[in-house]
Amino acid sequence: MGDDLRRTQLFDLHVELGAKLVPFAGYEMPVQYPMGVLKEHLHCRTQAGLFDVSHMGQVLLRPKTGVLAAGALERLVPQDLVGLKKGRQRYAFFTNESGGILDDLMVANRGDHLFLVVNAACKAADIAHMRAALPDCEIEEITDRALLALQGPGAEAVLDRIAPGTGAMRFMDVAVMASEFGALWVSRSGYTGEDGFEISVPGGAAQDLARAILQDDTVAPIGLGARDSLRLEAGLCLYGNDIDETTSPVEAGLEWAMQKARKPGGAREGGFPGADRILQELTEGAPRRRVGLRPEGRAPMRAGTEIFNENGDMIGAVTSGAFGPSIEAPMSMGYVTPQHAEIGTQVFGEVRGKRLPATITGLPFRPAGFKR
């Protein structure tokens, strides 16, 4: 490993647990444990998995005198944050002037301030972006807390024993919960398509909390490998693969994450970077669309695979692809022209010089298990 890679507060625990470590977003992170990616994936789907996501950015956004933090942040995202109730969080994305996505993030309303979780590879740029555009707000990066994700159908029972009351939280609720590991900033959400929680914990208590969670026989440590196959089965985007600065939210099929107030005819229509393009695409359609693909056979069509129609014309490309352990079949996501985006359309992916058939399918690849 390079000397310039950073380590999370759980690094020693990963080594102790036998993790295979790889460079990821500037950090030395576990890609898998001795259980292996396939078994880790299935364990999370059937019981519970613990993920170290401390490499991600935790940011507090506080308003200066006379300013509403939610209203200020709406200048950078196409979400309705003014209407976000205290104790709730929302998926959002920063857009650029050309309507592309700079990053996707979670925004929580904690009363007198907002709590943001941003992607690890983008956090420095995101914080600089906010500081430049929001002079009426204080932007504070939190560096003394770790971030864990506990995901799977057994997550609720495990965490409720450690922080009583978490079991009563609804999907996308946020709360500060008392525990013997200090104040836990908990959200009921996650990136696996399962019920679960993300837990911000004081850095000095992170290893003790992780050990306490792992003492439960239903919980296994899960690495980045299974995290990727879990999120792909759930039809969720990975920033830098499925969405980036060249991708508009409408192309990515993320219209659901833009509330009525910010859309054409809404109370606060537009007013965010790239609004002209995004609002136009909402009305008139986008030049390409993110779709699910189910290749025939057992071989996955991975990122970069070119997609062709029945006439041999190139119509798009795969952005993420893997074998889905829960669906027992290969799965991919990618972009195609709108006329080929209809579910059931047959297309062809070029794999090792051969054009292999695949079918456009709906997302997610398996139903979500979120608690509603």
Could you tell me whether strands 48-52 and 219-221 are parallel, antiparallel, or unpaired per DSSP bridges? Answer: parallel
Tokens of 220: 């296994």
- On the question of pLDDT at 286 being above 60, the answer is yes
Task: Say whether both 52 and 160 belong to one domain.
Answer: yes
3-class SS letters over 42-85 = HHHHHCEEEEECCCCEEEEEEECCCCCHHHHHCCCCCCCCCCCC
- On the question of pLDDT at 197 being above 70, the answer is yes
pLDDT-derived band at 247 (thresholds 50, 70, 90) equals very high
The verdict on residue 74 lying in a domain is no
Mean pLDDT of the chain: 97
Domain range enclosing 352: 288-371
CA distance 195 to 117: 18
Tokens of 163: 């922080």
Q: Return all residues near 353 (Cβ < 8 A) that are at least 6 apart.
A: none
- On the question of pLDDT at 86 being above 70, the answer is yes
Task: Say whether both 211 and 321 belong to one domain.
Answer: no
- On the question of pLDDT at 2 being above 80, the answer is no
Residue 16, annotated ligand binder?
no
The verdict on residue 250 lying in a domain is no
The pLDDT of 245-254, averaged and rounded, is: 98
Q: Return all residues near 204 (Cβ < 8 A) that are at least 6 apart.
A: 9
More confident residue, 67 or 309: 309
Does an H or E element contain 175, and which? strand 174-177
Q: Please calculate the CA angle 292-242-288 and round it to the nearest 5 degrees.
A: 65
The verdict on residue 168 lying in a domain is yes
The predicted-structure confidence for 341-370, as pLDDT tens digits, reads as follows 999 999 999 999 999 999 999 999 999 999
CA distance 10 to 15: 9
The predicted-structure confidence for 24-37, as pLDDT tens digits, reads as follows 999 999 999 999 99
The verdict on residue 207 lying in a domain is yes
Tokens of 165: 């009351």
Tokens of 179: 């525990």
The predicted-structure confidence for 305-339, as pLDDT tens digits, reads as follows 999 999 999 999 999 999 999 999 999 999 999 99
Report residue 157: phi and psi, to 5°: -65, -40
- How many structural domains is the chain composed of? 2
Residue 66 has a pLDDT of 79
- On the question of pLDDT at 1 being above 80, the answer is no
Residue 3 has a pLDDT of 66
Task: Say whether both 227 and 333 belong to one domain.
Answer: no
Task: Say whether both 148 and 227 belong to one domain.
Answer: yes
The predicted-structure confidence for 88-105, as pLDDT tens digits, reads as follows 999 999 999 999 999 999
Contact 41, 52 (CB under 8 A): no
Tokens of 189: 């959400």
Contact 295, 358 (CB under 8 A): yes
Reduce the DSSP state of residue 101 to 3 states and report it: strand
The verdict on residue 80 lying in a domain is no
Q: What percent of the chain has pLDDT over 70?
A: 99
Q: Which of 192, 330, 336 is nearest to 253 (CA)?
A: 336
Residue 67 has a pLDDT of 82
Task: Say whether both 51 and 151 belong to one domain.
Answer: yes
The predicted-structure confidence for 145-193, as pLDDT tens digits, reads as follows 999 999 999 999 999 999 999 999 999 999 999 999 999 999 999 999 9
Task: Say whether both 174 and 40 belong to one domain.
Answer: yes
Burial of 363 (0-12, 13-18, 19+ CB in 10 A): middle
The CATH number of the domain where 37 resides is what? 3.30.1360.120
Task: Say whether both 34 and 164 belong to one domain.
Answer: yes
